[in-house]
Amino acid sequence: MHIVVAGKQVETGEALKVHVAEGLKTVTKKYFDHALEAYVTFSKSRSFFGCTIDIHAGRGLSLRGEGEGADAHRAFDEAATHIAKRLRRYRRRMNEHSRSLADERLPRSAETARQVILAQPLEEPEEEQLETAAPEAPQDQGDHGAIIAEAPTEIAHLSVSEAVMRLDLGQVPVVMFRNRGSGQLNVVYRRPDGHIGWIDPAAA
């Protein structure tokens, strides 16, 4: 597994990198052997250190853990513990995922889509300001803000429970997937109240 350790106003010496490598090895080998890469980022506030772990385990499966501590080592340990707790919750499905990756005969059941990040739209100027605006105003961006980033993403063929697992493990707000049962595009997302929402057009 390729591991990148970075620090924001934090010194990431050899001892910390060894601690990270050993900790990630302990977590990943217990649940799956096919993690591809991990990015571990440390930051520092006035009174504590922070750590974010992002692991890419292949086939669109990503895991994220965050932790805080009195020093960088403790912050990493807390983030790794959070990942381990989530993996324990999905132990059986993670084992199945690991076996499917090991079987090269399995087809790659995923579609490719485009993920776009839009800039926050600017507020509409007041009427008086419009009259005195300079002629070289920025070009209209349409009904959305300017595109500031885009990247390919996969729409995997999943059951609803598998999609919820990915939502939880990756700590992402939304997952779009093709429902393995109905063949329809579905969405699961984290509601403001903490519960999981599920959008299924086939049930409409």
Architecture of the domain spanning 2-101:
2-Layer Sandwich (3.30)
Question: Which 3 state secondary structure label does DSSP give 17?
Answer: helix
Domain ranges of the chain: 2-101, 107-122+142-203
For residue 190, the model assigns a pLDDT of 93
For residue 12, the model assigns a pLDDT of 92
For residue 6, the model assigns a pLDDT of 94
**CATH code, 107-122+142-203:** 3.30.505.50
Across 181-189, average pLDDT:
92
For residue 65, the model assigns a pLDDT of 94
Q: What is the pTM of this model?
A: 0.69
Across 106-118, average pLDDT:
68
Q: For residue range 121-168, what is the model confidence (pLDDT) as tens digits?
A: 666 555 555 555 555 544 445 566 687 777 677 788 888 988 999 898
Q: Is the pLDDT of residue 117 over 80?
A: no
136, burial (CB in 10 Å: exposed 0-12, middle 13-18, buried 19+)? exposed
Contacts of 90 (CB under 8 A, 6+ apart): 165, 168, 169
Q: What are phi and psi of 79, to 5 degrees?
A: -65, -40
What are the strands, taking DSSP E only, across 9-121? 37-44, 49-56, 62-69, 110-118
For residue 123, the model assigns a pLDDT of 61
Q: For residue range 9-67, what is the model confidence (pLDDT) as tens digits?
A: 888 999 999 999 999 998 888 776 667 899 999 999 888 999 999 998 766 688 899 99
How far apart CA 91 and CA 76 sit, in angstroms, is 22
Token pair of 198 as six digits:
């599920």
In which band, very low, low, confident or very high, does the pLDDT at 110 lie, cut at 50, 70 and 90?
low
For residue 137, the model assigns a pLDDT of 45
Token pair of 121 as six digits:
């739209």
Across 81-89, average pLDDT:
90
Contacts of 145 (CB under 8 A, 6+ apart): 118, 119, 120, 121, 122
Q: Is the pLDDT of residue 71 over 70?
A: yes
